[in-house]
Amino acid sequence: MKLQSKNIRSAFALSFCMGMLEQIVRGPVLVLYLYHIAESQAWAAWGPNLAVGFVQGVSGLVKLASVAPISWLVDSVPTRRVRPLRVSIVLGFITVVAGGFSLCTDHIAWATTLSAACGLFMELAQSASRAILTDSIPIGKREGIFVTQWVCFLAGSATGPFLAAAVVIVSESTEQAHSIQTDELPVKFALLCGLIVVIPAAIFIFNFGDPLAAEVESRGRSGDVVTVNVVKHVAKPCKLLCCAGRVVPMLCLTFSLSRPRVQVA
C-alpha cells in the first residue's frame, strides 16, 4: 500500500509538471519566442507564421510516429514499466540541452529539436506513468484517481501561462529600470522557467515503483505461483487518432502559409 500511495502522489505531481511543460515549452510561450527569432532570420521573407507552423508540424509528426513504439515499450514487460519511465529522463535532458542551445543561438533548428524532444519526453513519461498508476489502483476505484490526475494536469496548464506572464512582466520592468532594449529577453526568461520544470519532473519520475514487480516478488517469497495477465487496452489505437487530429490541422496550416503570395495590383 505504501508503494501504491507513493505512485499515486507522484503521478499527480508529474501531471502538474507536464501541464506546465505543455503550455510553456510547447505552447504559446514557444510560439511567441519563434515569432521573435523568425523576424531576424531568413524566415522573415515568408513571415513568422511559417516558422511556427514548421516547428509545430515537425514536432507533431515526431510525436505521432512515436506513439506505437512507446506503447510497445511500456507494455512489453508489464512488471518493469518503471524502466521506460526513467528512460524518459534522458529525453528530458535532451530537451534542456536543446533549449539552452536555442536560447543562446536563436536558431530555428534548435527550437525544432527542443519542441520535438519535449514532445517525446512528455509522451513517454505520461504513457508509462499512467500505466504504473493503473497497476497501482484496484479495479473499481480508478475513476476518481484518474479525474484527480486530469485536474492536476489542467492546474499545471493554467499555472504555466500565469508563471510565464509573471516572468515577462518582471523582466520588462527590470529592462526599463536598466534601460535595456531587448524584445526577446523576457520571452527567453519565460521559456527558461519552463525548462527548469524538467528538474522536478525528473525527481517525481524517480519516485515511481513497479507495483506488479513488488507483488510478484512478495508472492514469490511465500511460494505462491504467480501468473501475470497482460491486458491489451483498446484505448491504445485511439491515441493514434487523437495525435492525428492534432497534427493534420497543423500540416494544413503550414501548407497554406507556405504557398506563394500573389500581390494584387
- For 66-83, write each residue's pLDDT tens digit: 989 998 998 888 888 899
CA distance 204 to 12: 9
CA 201, CA 91: separation in Å to the nearest integer? 12
Q: 124 falls in which pLDDT band (50, 70, 90)?
A: very high
CATH number of 2-258: 1.20.1250.20
Q: Please indicate, yes or no, whether the overall pTM of this predicted structure exceeds 0.85.
A: no
Tell me the pLDDT tens digit for each residue of 30-70.
888 888 887 766 665 667 778 888 888 998 899 899 989 99
What is the distance between the alpha carbons of residues 187 and 23, in angstroms, rounded to a whole number? 13
Alpha helices (H) in the chain, listed in sequence order? 2-24, 28-38, 48-65, 67-75, 82-105, 108-136, 142-177, 185-196, 198-206, 211-221, 235-258
CA distances from 118 to 78, 80, 147, 237 (A): 25, 23, 24, 22
pLDDT tens per residue across span 225-242? 433 333 333 334 334 334
Cell of 255: 501548407
Cβ neighbours for 136, distance < 8 A, ≥ 6 positions apart: 3, 4, 7, 8, 211
- 64 phi/psi in degrees, rounded to 5: -65, -40
Phi-psi region of 223 (alpha: psi -120 to 50; beta: other; left: phi over 0): left
